[in-house]
Amino acid sequence: MKELIEKLPYGPDFLFVDEILSVDENTIVGSYTYRADALFYRDHFPERPITPGVILIETMAQIGLVCFGFYLEKDRKEELPAFAFTSSNVEFFKIVLPGDKVTVHSEKIFFRLGKLKCRVELKNIADETIAKGEMSGMIIKISKTNQ
């Protein structure tokens, strides 16, 4: 399952996937530990840093949509195209601190015509829900003229 992570187009400071724990045609589970030295903690918030909600959503999307989409497209003969985030409806319930480990659980609602929609939940190590909702994204082809 490391091959899914290796396909992600992110640099080390924007990669929010440490491990894919399980994946099949209907679900994916992965984890990430937020590095205490991540740049966004310096200013969010200086006296008591917490992980920004947008970073939590990005973690959910990288595991619950992008890795999942790459897995679902594993039989493609050509090189995998890019995956574009299209929408989310996420509610937050708890904060995430520097050094916290989270697990993303994603369940496919549908995958058709290159669009993936999932129920995604972010949990802490105590198995408490941090955030949950629906997210979707789509497979896109990037030609050299688009770059």
| Torsion sign (Cα): 12, 75, 110, 27 | negative
**CA 141 to CA 127: how far, in whole Å?**
37
105 noted as active-site residue: no
Q: Are the C-beta atoms of 139 and 100 separated by less than 8 Å? A: no
With a CB cutoff of 8 Å and minimum separation 6, the contacts of 49 are: 41, 42, 97, 98
**CA 147 to CA 116: how far, in whole Å?**
24
Given 44, 115, 119, 132, the catalytic residue: 44
Active-site residues, by number, are 44
